[in-house]
Structure 1
Amino acid sequence: MPADVPDRLDKAQSFYGRAIAKFGLLSFLSLGVSLAGGTAFAQTTGEGSSPTTGASGGISAPASNAASDPVIGARQGRVSAVQDPGPYFSAPMGADHFFGDWGGIQPWLLDHGIHLLASINEEFFGNFTGGKQRAYSDAGQVGLELDVDWERLAGLRNFWTHMLVVNGHGQNVSRNFGDSIAGVQEIYGARGNVVAHLVSMYGERSFLHNRVDLSVGVMPVGSFFMASPLFCDFINVAICGNPAPNKYTPGNRDWPSANIGAVLRVMPTNESYIMAGIFAVSPHAFNGGISGWALAQDGLGKLSTPIELGWTPSFGKSKLIGHYKLGYSYDNSQYPNLYEDKYGNSYLRSGLAARKEAGMNSMWLLADQMLIRNGEGQSNGLVALAGAMYDDGKTVAMRDHEWAGIIETGKPWGRPLDTVGAMYQHFDMSRSVTLQQESAQELGLPFPSNQWGQVWGVQSHENTYELFYSAHVGRAMALEPDFQYIQRPGASTVFHDAAVLGVQFTVVL
């Protein structure tokens, strides 16, 4: 985003870095020519937390982003020029970088429509009691992103392209102490052990005086739908980025995986939107292959079609902003029933194949509301958030997920760039997967694994509690101590409750 549009970084998608190597610019040229035209809207009204959102909280100074947000601009009685390629209600990176303006390079790039950014994230976590065993793990990531405003670069009006690659290392310590349901680290695995794992690559075009926005390409579904940048103030991966269980289903991947597809957003009023998408469903464990670059995978004939309604009111003289979302997604693929064969009996007992279920349904309700404002910007204050997500329990091992939390910035105690928060999460496993596991136990068979990995015992539910404090420790740099308590690790009673301590370090270069 332009240097004159800074905003407080609320650690919106804390593991998203923003930049890419120069060759990315060339790869976008042909896409830009084919989609260019229309009127501006950028991703600022999408209400999602997209890959264009950067990492880590409390890094750039609090400030209003009205100049880059057409919705806010309209509320203030004017139509703003769209400059920010990031999503509406994101916490943008702002203009602050650890290396400043890169010796004058950054201002030149921004003047030419090139938003280039990189970030580093490291997380060290360990459980000091409970679980299968004492364990610790360091996991980290380098994120590189390139956003291009093609009007500035080549005169192609109201068209942007976005590209994100990551390089990661380490694994989630939760798997070491016996929990695959709610990993305590947000950075781990799924990056293919390659130098550059492709997360997203898509073009974006806007129409009708900022009312309609179309994105087409390779995109994490969860970066547009059922998303909020507040989620990644927290580190637990069950909420960070995008809430479980939907992001673990083939038709609704969240990053670092993505689906080929398109998203259309329409704003009938300044405080409401409707967003719909269509995505190719990959039958493979890794969309785009292990590296993310294998875009022409076989078996992409089925479709996922999410839709989301959003309301973004502001209340009182302080403009206390709220975000309320209701969504539904249907995947027309066929998936095996977790318990039944074609006669309705246990497929483990009968030896027959599991019955195929036609389609997969998902629903979600998300809400957050600012209660007290501490300064300008869309998330600078005391904010309460809550939500629920439901998936089809016949084919998805986790049936539902509920959460509630609160976040506060540090201005009341003289630390305006800091953030503190607490969250409770509850997970219910599906009745079908519980019956499957009970059947395996009766037959003396190993528990089948599911979307969440290895199973240690008959699963029913799990609770997690998280408390963090993100401290601004230097320019574009944050250090976040984090405590999490996991009741019933692995959603079973096999292991004792686990208490986990960790710290996350992030820096925007």
Structure 2
Amino acid sequence: MIGHCECHRSRHFVKSVGRFVAFFILVCGLHAGDGHAQSSSSNNPLSATSKGEAVEYGAVSSKAYQPTAYPLDDVGGFTIGPVIPTLAGAPHLFGDWYGIQPWLLKHGVFLNLALNEEYVGNITGGKTRSNVLAGQVAGELDIDWQRLAGVEGLWTHMLVINGHGRSFSLNSGDSVTNPEQIYGARGNVVAHLVEMYADKTFFNKRVIVSVGDIPTGSFFSYDYTACFFMNVSVCSNWAPGKYNPGGRDWPSGNVGGVLKIRPTQQTYIEGGVFLVSPHAYNGGISGWAIAQDGMDKVTSQVEIGWMPEFGKHKLRGNYKIGYWYDNSRYPNLYEDIHGNSFQATGQPRRYEAGMSVAWFMFNQMLVRNGEGLTNGLIIEGGAGYAQGNLVAMRDREWVGFVESGTPWHRPNDAMGIMFQHYDMSRTVSLQQESSLALGLPFMSNQWGPVYGIQNWENAYEAFYSINLAPATNLMADFQYMQHPGATTTFKDIAILGGQFTTNF
């Protein structure tokens, strides 16, 4: 059927990649000085050294900090720690809290508070000229029960946030990519629960089991270097899977469990099973209503990862491929029960069992200029795919570069550039063509309001982050959206933004 035909529009992507070559030349040109210079001790948690460099980190939970080198154990040649990092080990604006932090860490209690404030505004293009401020305060509590109570290999994690502000996407007319990193899905509540789960290690820490209320992106399809960027499409909540009920992610948790096996120090295999919530908010608007009704379907996720280190400078890489399948029934975006436009015929929509999503992701350090996890020039990228007859965005590809500040004697500063390409599905385009022909309003989809026939969109981003004080950074950000909302309804958008983050 024509509704199932997802013709590849690669010519747009190829042209856009050509435009990105100039960005590549720029970042390589900025990489000056001794590429292997050692950085001094710094306030950037990513410049800290640790055995943890041999470990694949999970999601950045509060999105107000970057992942930190975690105090880990070296057992049987394996460097294994908690599956999900916390702020623990990172510096704090107020130091050691007058001795409180060291005492807590000694007893296995990792307590952290973080603030993130973001401002974005478009200087041209879009639905309207607009500027918005959004932010959040995050509180995280992680407990190592081996230190606290002698229970070997047991950790518990809880993250609660409070958010404020407005969505820039609603004003700009572009719901396909969101230039804000932290806005959305928090609910208008004082304390929104993001995650609450436990980890338990087995067989000399080669096997880790995690169970509870878990954001799926904390374990699957995550790239820690991507969270340097403000655009949320690449930071944990990856597109095109992130807005589908079976793959909702941060700041929503999914009831389920994950089994992670590490055959070698540089490889892992993990699988997860999560309940699919039919509600707009997992756990209710506050996140605390974990046992909701209607969660009788499951999504199963699997990922295989390789984390090599190349050469004498240990150029760290992360390579992963994954897939998830949701056994729920979802409506076809275009077809009725006979394969025609449901809008034109008025017949019931076709429901199809099963939704598939797949991804490939990587990051690789090209040149090292310090001992930290990201002290160097790093390339990152990947591709994500979703089933286009059920999901409005069929695929997304991205590539970017991140560089820390050691070459220009600012070891805690960072800069980066990123290019993203989005293809909407042919099936959703057929639906929108039918709406236009029938004089009907365009239907919203997983990505929000629609203002025209959707095809493709490109997003370009460049940032520079300045370290102001311990654990405190101010970032200047520029983004350019080509075909905002994946339509030609509005002019291309140029966006200026800023982000202030600190760990108390």
Match of 2:429 in 1: 434
Instruction: Report what 1:17 is aligned to.
Output: none
What SS does structure 2 have at the residue aligned with 1:124?
A: strand
TM-score, normalised via structure 2 length: 0.88
- Matches of 1:44 and 1:280, distance apart in 2: 31
Corresponding position: 1:252 with 2:247: yes
Question: Mapping of 1:7-46 within 5 angstroms?
Answer: 8-10=44-46, 45=55
Does 2:51 match 1:48? no
What are the superposed Cα offsets for residues 448-473 of structure 1, whole Å, 9 maximum, x if unpaired?
Answer: 10011100111001000000011101
Q: SS of the residue aligned with 1:230?
A: helix
**Does structure 1 conserve the Cα–Cα contact (< 8 Å) formed by 2:262 and 2:268?**
yes
Matches within 5 A, 1:301-312: 301-312=296-307
The alpha-carbon deviation at position 173 of structure 1 amounts to 1.1
- Taking a change above 3 Å as real, the CA distance of residues 290 and 44 of structure 1, as seen in their structure-2 partners, is farther
Pairwise CA distance, 1:378: 2.3
Deviation string, structure 1 residues 398-441 (Cα, Å, up to 9, x no partner): 00010000000000000001110000000000011000000000
Shift of the alpha carbon at 1:376? Answer: 1.3
Of residues 132-141 and 95-104 in structure 1, the stretch that sits farther from structure 2 once superposed is 95-104
- Per the alignment, in what secondary structure is the counterpart of residue 233 of structure 2? coil
Q: Which residue of 1 aligns with 2:12?
A: none
Q: Is 1:390 paired with 2:407?
A: no
- State whether residues 274 and 308 of structure 1, in contact with CA within 8 Å, keep that contact through their aligned partners in structure 2: yes
Pick aligned residue for 1:68 from 67, 71, 74: 71
8 Å CA contact 2:45, 2:66 repeated in 1: yes
In structure 2, C-alpha distance between the alignment counterparts of 1:92 and 1:412, rounded to whole Å: 26
Residues 295 and 181 from structure 1, CA distance in 2 versus in 1: closer, same or farther, beyond 3 angstroms? same
Unpaired runs of at least 5, structure 1: 12-40
Partner of 1:477 in structure 2? Answer: 472
Q: Distance in 1 between matches of 2:45 and 2:174?
A: 31
Matched, 1:114 2:145: no
Amino acid across the alignment from 2:423: D
Task: State the secondary structure of the residue aligned to 1:349.
Answer: helix
Change (3 A) 1:109 1:224: same
Cα deviation, residue 174, structure 1: 2.3
The answer (yes or no) to whether the contact 2:315–2:367 under 8 Å persists in 1 is yes
**In the superposition, relative to structure 1, how do residues 85 and 170 fare at CA in structure 2: closer, same or farther (>3 Å)?**
same
Q: How does 1:400-411 map to 2 (within 5 A)?
A: 400-411=395-406
Aligned equivalents of 1:105, 1:93: Cα separation in 2: 13
Off by >6 Å, runs of 4+ in structure 1: 41-44
- The offset of 1:446, in angstroms, is 0.6
- Superposed CA deviations along residues 223-243 of structure 1, whole A, max 9, x for unmatched, are 110001111100101112231
Distance 1:490 1:269, change over 3 A: same
2:284 is equivalent to residue 274 of structure 1: no
Shift of 1:367: 0.8
Mapping for residues 124-143 of structure 1, pairs under 5 Å: 124-143=119-138
Deviates more, 1:369-378 or 1:382-391: 369-378
Amino acid at match of 2:65: S
Residue 172 of structure 2 is aligned to residue 177 of structure 1: yes
Q: Are the equivalent residues in 1 in contact too, given 2:54–2:265 (CA < 8 A)? A: no
Matched, 1:226 2:262: no
The aligned residue for residue 189 of structure 1 is: 184
Q: CA deviation at 1:48?
A: 2.7
1:378 pairs with 2:373: yes
Q: Structure 1 residues 245, 329: closer, same or farther in 2, change over 3 A?
A: same
Is the contact made by 2:71 and 2:89 (CA closer than 8 Å) also made in structure 1? no
Q: Quick one: which of 480, 487, 493 aligns to 2:482?
A: 487
CA distance in structure 2 between the partners assigned to 1:411 and 1:43 by the alignment: 19
Whole-angstrom distance in 2 between the partners of 1:110 and 1:139 = 32
**Is the 2:45–2:91 Cα contact (8 Å) retained in structure 1?**
no
Identity %, equivalent residues:
54
d(CA) in 2 for partners of 1:453, 1:482 = 24
Q: How many residues align?
A: 461
- C-alpha distance in 2 between matches for 1:419 and 1:121: 17
2:494 maps to which residue? 499
Decide which of 271, 284, 288 is 1:293's aligned counterpart: 288
Alignment gaps of 5+ in structure 2: 1-40
- Per the alignment, residue 207 of structure 2 pairs with 212
Q: CA deviation at 1:358?
A: 0.7
| CA RMSD, 1 decimal | 2.2
Q: TM-score, normalised by structure 1?
A: 0.87
Select the residue among 427, 449, 465 that pairs with 1:454: 449
Q: Distance in 2 between matches of 1:166 and 1:94?
A: 20
Q: Which residue in 1 is equivalent to 2:329?
A: 334
> Within 2, Cα distance between the matches of 1:108 and 1:93?
13
Instruction: Output the CA distance in 1 between the equivalents of 2:210 and 2:114.
Output: 24
Task: Give the superposition deviation at 1:85.
Answer: 3.5
Structure 1 residue 7, shift from structure 2 partner: 8.5
The C-alpha deviation readout for 1:15-43, integer Å capped at 9, x for no partner, is xxxxxxxxxxxxxxxxxxxxxxxxxx999
C-alpha contact 1:8 1:93 (8 A) present in aligned 2: no
